[in-house]
Amino acid sequence: MSINETSRAYGAQKSSIREIAAYAGARKAEIGSENVFDFSLGNPSVPAPDAVRASIERALALPATQLHGYTPANGLPAVREAVAASLTRRFGDGAASAGDLYLTCGAAASLSITFHAVVNPGDEVIVIAPYFPEYRVWIETSGATCVEVLADPATFQVDVASVAAAITPRTKAVVINSPNNPVGSVYSRDNLAALADALREAEKSLGTAIYLVADEPYREITYGAEVPWVPSVYDRTIVCYSYSKSLSLPGERIGWVLVPPTNPDHDDLILAVAGAGRKLGFVCAPALFQRVLMDCVDCPSDVEAYAKNRRALTEGLSALGYEFIEPEGAFYLWVKALEPDAEKFFERAKALELLPVPSDSFGCPGWVRVGYCVSYETIVNSMPAWEKLAASYR
């Protein structure tokens, strides 16, 4: 074989999340979708706000050559201004201006581009396990080693001492994802401040620069917790965002990278982000959905639907004696498996038509992720199966 073996392997290796989702689809066809409780995917169950549709209809009145033409590589200036204005309203003067933003084809592109902007071959990038498994793919593709550091096993906040211990002279970045997929935790201001202190101390003692990559697609999906603005806590932050969850547009691929003006390497990073996008073949973010942001950047997410699901799921599982991390954001419940081997627990759940994702997929043993971005009925109707599953361990 003379083609690229790594690419072939990544194509052949199905993500376990996608595999479970595919099984769920097949099983639904077999026994009826009402009899399969598919908690595997993170596809928003809430529709995009009506304002998105209205915005698309409005845009269609523009001359087609203008509407569908190439935009600048970093996005239409008016769109970046609208996003920056929104960030400034929410996070204070100086949070962002249009020149600090680079619009992308969604969060995956934001992260891939960010890693390619900062990483040199042989560098290390720290991720907090459990973590979204594609992080490893993009980190390794950029030429770095992916270093897993377990979150605090009691709270699933960042275990700052463990991060500090994992830092080496080759550490180029730490990735955090809060609100967190797969746990649903939100990192507190104190936790982030402690992390920032540790990073600054390491930078000082090693004479290096360490970037904090804040992956925040779930920022708007919260249940009361504060989601601190990371650039206000740590200067060398790069924020990666997507509208996949907040506007329920995962298939349209629209998001951004922000290099905050307070980042001391701002000007070089802006160039490196643009250059990384160019290197990878991202010409511009999809033009029509860039324009949608101008109208919808401040649309509230329909968190109430997820909050209702969350309540039903946590109350139901709690009554059945399951242990879990109380989710403060995103739409995942992190449930302790009833035996040490999460895969075995999953197999027993699967036999009852319950389909969460075992935690091993996220770099952490002993739990399952239950995605509650599903219909309310799915949650309610799944309870007898959860009960049988618990009973089978008694």
Site for its own copies in 99-158 (CB under 8 A): 105-106, 108-113, 116-120, 134, 137-138, 141
Q: How far is CA 138 from CA 4, 97, 285, in A?
A: 16, 27, 19
The helix (run of H) or strand (run of E) holding residue 340 is: none
Using CB under 8 A, pick the residue from 52, 151, 192, 213 that binds its own copies: 52
Q: Give me the residue label for tokens 């739990």.
A: 367
Question: Which residues 223-282 are close enough to bind its own copies by CB under 8 A?
Answer: 248-253, 265, 268-276, 278-282
CA dihedral 374, 376, 377, 382 (to 10 degrees): 70
Closest CB 8 distance from its own copies, rounded Å: 4
For its own copies, the closer CB: 219 or 245: 245
Tell me: does residue 287 bind its own copies (CB under 8 A).
yes
For its own copies, the closer CB: 129 or 280: 280
For its own copies, the closer CB: 125 or 317: 125
Tokens representing 313 are 């799921």
Collapse the DSSP code of 357 into the 3-class scheme (helix H, G, I; strand E, B; otherwise coil) and give the result.
strand
Q: Which residues contact 125 (CB under 8 A, 6 or more apart)?
A: 115, 119, 139, 142, 144, 145, 146, 147, 171, 172, 173, 174, 175, 213
Closest CB 319 distance from its own copies, rounded Å: 30
Closest CB 137 distance from its own copies, rounded Å: 6
Question: Which residues 296-355 are close enough to bind its own copies by CB under 8 A?
Answer: none
Tokens representing 222 are 């919260």
Q: Which of 242, 299, 231 is nearest to 265 (CA)?
A: 231
- Give me the 59-98 binding string for its own copies, x by CB under 8 A, dash otherwise: -x--xxx-xxxxx---------------------------
For its own copies, the closer CB: 173 or 342: 173
Q: Is 280 exposed, middle or buried (0-12, 13-18, 19+ CB in 10 A)?
A: middle
Closest CB 147 distance from its own copies, rounded Å: 17
Question: Which residues 178-217 are close enough to bind its own copies by CB under 8 A?
Answer: 208-209
